[in-house]
């Protein structure tokens, strides 16, 4: 399927950040013409679907500077360099929520914004979840509220646009589908 390929003629790194890098690329299109592509490189991230024995979904509310507002999301975090996604997922779950789990089962991975970014999110399901006795420990620039919500409450939070991001919408829809399967 090389008839769609865009060939890199020139790539310039315009910004190197703590989380993202920005590249501006000149490309040759399949018809021989040229164009520019604005590309964000991101280390990737993990997200965890964690449901308690009482059938409550564990969520975190946090301030998202890009939108200048709070969002309610499933626990998530970016990959550290060289770290296996499953290791990041276990750590982020514990740090953000104070919960640990016996097992993390990979559910799906997806690119979040393929039009301009290479961020890949790996979604896991936590099995054998339990509240840790230790305090949860956040990164020093991370402030979150812990929430435990039923599926019905999660659907209401989607209606109210408090849950308002792709990975969490996917997770809630997944749990909704599991409920249908059981019926």
Q: Which of residues 147-176 bind a second copy (CB under 8 A)?
A: 158, 161, 164-170, 173-174, 176
Task: Give me the phi and psi of 90, to 5 degrees please.
Answer: -60, -45
Question: What is the distance between the alpha carbons of residues 56 and 7, in angstroms, rounded to a whole number?
Answer: 48
Flag whether 76 is marked binding.
Answer: yes
Among 115, 128, 133, 152, binds a second copy (CB under 8 A): 115
Which of residues 56 and 61 has its CB atom nearest to a second copy in the complex?
61
Flag whether 92 is marked binding.
Answer: yes
Site for a second copy in 119-138 (CB under 8 A): 119, 121
Whether 83 sits among the annotated catalytic residues: the reply is: no
In angstroms, give the least distance from the CB of 86 to a second copy. Answer: 18
Question: What is the distance between the alpha carbons of residues 3 and 43, in angstroms, rounded to a whole number?
Answer: 29
81 binds a second copy (CB under 8 A): no
- Strands (E) across 4-54 are located at 7-16, 21-28, 34-41, 45-49
In angstroms, give the least distance from the CB of 49 to a second copy. Answer: 13
Which one of 140, 152, 153, 156 is the catalytic residue?
140
Q: Which stretch binds a second copy (CB under 8 A): 73-81, 91-99, 128-136, 148-156?
A: 73-81
CB 141 within 8 A of CB 78: no
Task: Show Cβ contacts of residue 150 under 8 Å, excluding neighbours closer than 6 positions.
Answer: 55, 56, 57
Flag whether 142 is marked binding.
Answer: yes
CB 100 within 8 A of CB 93: yes
Which of residues 35 and 55 has its CB atom nearest to a second copy in the complex?
35
Site for a second copy in 43-62 (CB under 8 A): 45, 61-62
Task: Show Cβ contacts of residue 81 under 8 Å, excluding neighbours closer than 6 positions.
Answer: 43
Which of residues 22 and 87 has its CB atom nearest to a second copy in the complex?
22
The SS3 call for residue 69 is strand
């Amino acid at each position: 399927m090389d008839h769609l390929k865009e060939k890199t003629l020139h790539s310039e790194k315009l910004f190197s950040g703590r989380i993202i890098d920005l590249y501006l690329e000149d490309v040759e299109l399949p018809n021989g013409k040229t164009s520019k592509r604005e590309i964000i490189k991101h280390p990737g991230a993990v997200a965890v679907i964690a449901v308690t024995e009482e059938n409550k979904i564990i969520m975190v509310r946090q301030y998202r500077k890009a939108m200048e507002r709070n969002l309610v999301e499933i626990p998530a975090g970016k990959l550290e360099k060289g770290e296996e996604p499953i290791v990041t997922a276990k750590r982020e779950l514990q740090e953000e929520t104070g919960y640990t789990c016996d097992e993390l089962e990979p559910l799906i991975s997806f690119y979040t914004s393929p039009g301009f970014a290479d961020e890949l999110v790996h979604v896991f399901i936590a099995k054998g979840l339990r509240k840790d006795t230790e305090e949860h420990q956040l990164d020093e620039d991370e402030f979150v509220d812990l929430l435990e919500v039923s599926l019905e409450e999660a659907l209401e939070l989607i209606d109210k646009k408090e849950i308002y991001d792709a990975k969490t919408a996917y997770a809630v829809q997944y749990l909704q589908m599991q409920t249908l399967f059981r019926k």
